[in-house]
Chain A
Amino acid sequence: MNQTDLQQLLDRELKQLPLPRAPEALLSKVLAVTVHQAPAASPSGWLAWPRAWQLVSAAALIALVAGAWSLLQIAHPMDFVWRAVGEAPGRVGGVVQGASEASTLVRVFWEVVLKPVAAYVSVLAIAFGLACALLWTAVERLALGGASER
């Protein structure tokens, strides 16, 4: 019998072996240890999503924010809307005029107060988020146990 035949024969024989039964005491021992403990709380919402979905959604959110940011740098799209609607006569025109002024006020507030620090705040928020994710992963692996022991 050559090596390949022996390998195939043994593979077949070993896989046909009945599964050894766990000792009767195993279940009671496990339950005795866990009976006074509550299982870890179930994650909910975004935390319960599969890891790949979490990554994709985070990337999509970042892309969305970056896109909106770029758009704001290039043009102020609401100006076109106000201009078009502002030409309407009567009371509607007054309301639109008011909204346009409010928009201008918000924009000025943004340009003067928020914009200078927005980039730093964004970087800090992203760094903080990443640090939290890394910390949580480390805690999960070390304290709560993980599949990759080696």
Chain B
Amino acid sequence: MTDADRFEAFVREYQDMVFATAVRLLGSATEAEDISQTVFLRAFQRFAVISTSPTAAGWLKTVTTNLCLNHLSRYRARWQFFSELDRPEDDESYEARVPSRSAGAGQQLQEADRQARLERALRELPDHQRVPLVLFHFESMTYQEIASTLRVSLGKVKTDIHRGRESLKKELSFGDESD
């Protein structure tokens, strides 16, 4: 197997994980694809070391997370500004964003539909709520670590995560009511 083949297999193995991390942090599939591409180019540059490393997945996740956070802070100037504001309109427009319930024949379809809505709701949270929420639930970071990583106060992290959870709770409730 050539190096090119090995690298292709490597990308195939980890592309979903990298993309999932990026898309949940960024909330945008297009930007997540760009970030994923950058991550794999970096991996290519260090492929000799990474390909045999048992911590390759961890390295990829760390690079993905850091690149996403850099991207958010550099290219989304509104990040800091809007993070200080309340967004009550989010609550009002929440149900409008959720597609009408599909008449799923079986329980599996309903479950898949519910998960799709939850995933969509997560992506549509404002950056300042989604990012700490994703770091907490998917990357298993503590509040303190998140505050340190995002360079914001511990109180703000807790508040933003709380508001994010409240928004997602409505999605879960919506799903339950419809069952």
Q: Known contacts A9-B172, A27-B12, A43-B49; can you find 7 more A-B pairs with CB under 8 A?
A: A1-B169, A14-B138, A20-B119, A25-B33, A147-B62, A147-B63, A149-B66
B147 within 8 A of A: no
**Taking the nearest CB of chain B, how far is it from the CB of A119, in angstroms?**
37
A90 within 8 A of B: no
* Known A-B contacts A30-B11, A31-B11, A34-B41; A20 and B70 likewise in contact (beta carbons under 8 Å): no
Q: Which of B1-29 contact A (CB under 8 A)?
A: 3-4, 7-8, 11-12, 15-20, 23-24, 29
- Assign chain A's interface to a size class: 35 or more
Q: Which of A4-25 contact B (CB under 8 A)?
A: 6-7, 9-11, 13-23, 25
**Taking the nearest CB of chain B, how far is it from the CB of A14, in angstroms?**
5
Q: Is the CB of A23 within 8 A of B19?
A: yes
**Taking the nearest CB of chain B, how far is it from the CB of A92, in angstroms?**
54
Q: Which residue of B lies closest to A144 (CB)?
A: B45
Residues of A in contact with B (beta carbons under 8 Å apart): 1, 3, 6-7, 9-11, 13-23, 25-27, 29-31, 33-35, 37-43, 144-145, 147-150
Q: Is the CB of A40 within 8 A of B45?
A: yes
Q: Is the CB of A22 within 8 A of B16?
A: yes
Q: Is the CB of A30 within 8 A of B19?
A: no
Q: Is the CB of B11 within 8 A of A145?
A: no
Residues of A within 8 A of B162 (CB): 3
Residues of B within 8 A of A33 (CB): 37, 41
Q: Is the CB of A6 within 8 A of B46?
A: no
B59 within 8 A of A: yes
Residues of A within 8 A of B66 (CB): 147-150
**Taking the nearest CB of chain A, how far is it from the CB of B172, in angstroms?**
6
Instruction: Tell me the complex Cα distance, A29–B16, Å.
Output: 15
* Known A-B contacts A149-B63, A150-B149; A19 and B17 likewise in contact (beta carbons under 8 Å): yes
* Known A-B contacts A39-B3, A39-B48; A19 and B70 likewise in contact (beta carbons under 8 Å): no
Q: Which residue of B lies closest to A41 (CB)?
A: B48
Instruction: Tell me the complex Cα distance, A16–B69, Å.
Output: 24
Q: Is the CB of B62 within 8 A of A20?
A: no
B174 within 8 A of A: no
Residues of A within 8 A of B169 (CB): 1, 6, 10
Q: Is the CB of B37 within 8 A of A29?
A: yes
Residues of A within 8 A of B15 (CB): 22, 26-27
B129 within 8 A of A: no
Residues of A within 8 A of B94 (CB): none
Q: Is the CB of A30 within 8 A of B40?
A: yes
Residues of A within 8 A of B165 (CB): 6-7, 10
Instruction: Tell me the complex Cα distance, A78–B55, Å.
Output: 50
Q: Which residue of B lies closest to A39 (CB)?
A: B47
Q: Which residue of B lies closest to A11 (CB)?
A: B137
Instruction: Tell me the complex Cα distance, A1–B162, Å.
Output: 13
Q: Is the CB of B33 within 8 A of A150?
A: no
Residues of B within 8 A of A14 (CB): 118, 122, 137-138, 168
**Taking the nearest CB of chain B, how far is it from the CB of A1, in angstroms?**
7
Q: Is the CB of B137 within 8 A of A26?
A: no
Q: Is the CB of B17 within 8 A of A40?
A: no
